[in-house]
């Protein structure tokens, strides 16, 4: 089981972005307390080149500021 598996009732799951990161970085898997950030702001774009691992506080801080920015029709942050 991956270190960042989430429990849902009696089963476990892992966010797809974490699974992609762990598959493409087998010696640098996501640990508890870490998040995977989508560089382009599109949460379902799980291409390996769009993902960056970071600690939870850094990630939450980014989105706290970013949440005030507007998004375009595709859900991306506007410049």
Residue 73 has pLDDT above 90, yes or no: no
Which of 39, 41, 48 is closest to 19 using CA atoms? 48
Mean pLDDT of the chain: 80
Helix/strand/coil for 76: coil
pTM score of the predicted model: 0.65
* pLDDT tens digit sequence for 20-56: 999 999 999 999 889 899 999 888 899 999 999 999 8
Query: Could you identify the residue written with the tokens 């995977």?
Result: 36
**Per-residue model confidence (pLDDT) at position 27:** 93
Identify whether the C-beta of residue 69 lies closer than 8 Å to the C-beta of residue 77. Answer: yes
């Amino acid at each position: 089981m991956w270190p960042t598996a989430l429990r849902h009732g009696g089963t476990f799951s892992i966010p797809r972005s974490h699974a992609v990161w762990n598959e493409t970085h087998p010696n640098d898997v996501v640990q508890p307390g870490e998040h995977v950030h989508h560089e382009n702001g599109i949460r379902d774009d799980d291409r390996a080149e769009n993902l960056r691992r970071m600690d939870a506080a850094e990630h939450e801080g980014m989105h706290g500021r970013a949440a005030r920015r507007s998004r375009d029709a595709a859900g991306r942050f506007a410049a």
